[in-house]
């Protein structure tokens, strides 16, 4: 996976407003702080899936290294903050994730609920990958640009992990139908969210 990561690979229906990267570049402290918490929450989400579905050996095997990787990303973002004389600061509400969570279907079987959670995680990873690519291409800070290039590649792998697990549990046809529904809903969320300079999403 390289810089060919784009809409066709990630499946996103609506690209991020190009203004976001320029605004984010002028507010890098806020972006790094928000990004650190995103990595922390990504690790926590994988831990939660492992705790709640310990009987799923393939899930445990696939997500255990993702926990370590997401936490290492958290540590790496903290290091970038320290290099620039910044500290972590308080966590802000993630309106993007909050709105996505409302789209998760309630009820159904235990397997259905697992697939909904996996697809939500896949969406967040796909959007993060797209944002990392934008930062890589637009930041003047060469170190941060390279940093986000490496994370872009990693996030693309995570997105595929979640999607492949979902297909394993519910079948490709049903999962892809639901995935397309969520992609459309995610595009509406992106369309209606303000372009924020202090948020990764």
The pLDDT confidence band at residue 4, using thresholds 50, 70 and 90, is: very low
Question: Tokens 């990873």 sit at which residue?
Answer: 125
How many structural domains comprise the chain?
1
- Contact between 161 and 62 under an 8 Å Cβ cutoff? The reply is yes
**Position 172 in a domain:** yes
Query: For the segment 14-56, what is each residue's pLDDT rounded down to a tens digit?
Result: 998 888 888 888 889 999 999 999 999 999 999 999 999 999 9
Domain, as residue range, for 145: 21-192
Domain of residue 131, CATH code:
1.20.1260.10
- Contact between 49 and 117 under an 8 Å Cβ cutoff? The reply is yes
**Position 96 in a domain:** yes
**Position 118 in a domain:** yes
pTM of the predicted protein model:
0.90
Which one is predicted more confidently, 75 or 158? 75
**Position 166 in a domain:** yes
**Position 143 in a domain:** yes
Taking phi over 0 as left and psi of -120 to 50 as alpha, with beta for the rest, 89 belongs to: left
In sequence order, which ranges of 53-141 are alpha helices (DSSP H)? Answer: 57-83, 95-102, 110-138
């Amino acid at each position: 996976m390289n810089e060919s990561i784009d809409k066709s690979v990630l499946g996103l229906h609506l690209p991020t407003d190009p203004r976001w990267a320029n605004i984010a570049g002028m507010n890098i402290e806020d972006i790094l702080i928000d990004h650190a918490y995103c990595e922390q929450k990504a690790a926590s989400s994988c831990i939660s899936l492992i705790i709640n579905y310990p009987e799923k050996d393939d899930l445990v095997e696939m997500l255990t290294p993702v926990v370590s990787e997401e936490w290492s990303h958290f540590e790496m973002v903290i290091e970038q903050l320290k290099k620039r004389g910044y500290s972590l600061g308080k966590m802000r509400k993630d309106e993007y994730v909050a709105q996505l969570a409302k789209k998760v279907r309630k009820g159904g079987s235990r397997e259905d609920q697992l697939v909904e959670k996996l697809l939500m995680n896949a969406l967040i990873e796909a959007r993060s990958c797209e944002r990392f690519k934008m930062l890589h291409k637009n930041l003047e800070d060469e170190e941060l640009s390279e940093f986000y290039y490496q994370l872009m590649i990693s996030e693309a792998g995570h997105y595929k992990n979640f999607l492949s697990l979902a297909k394993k549990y519910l079948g490709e046809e049903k999962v892809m139908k639901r995935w397309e529904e969520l992609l459309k809903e995610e595009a509406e969320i992106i369309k209606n969210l303000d372009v924020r300079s202090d948020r990764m999403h």
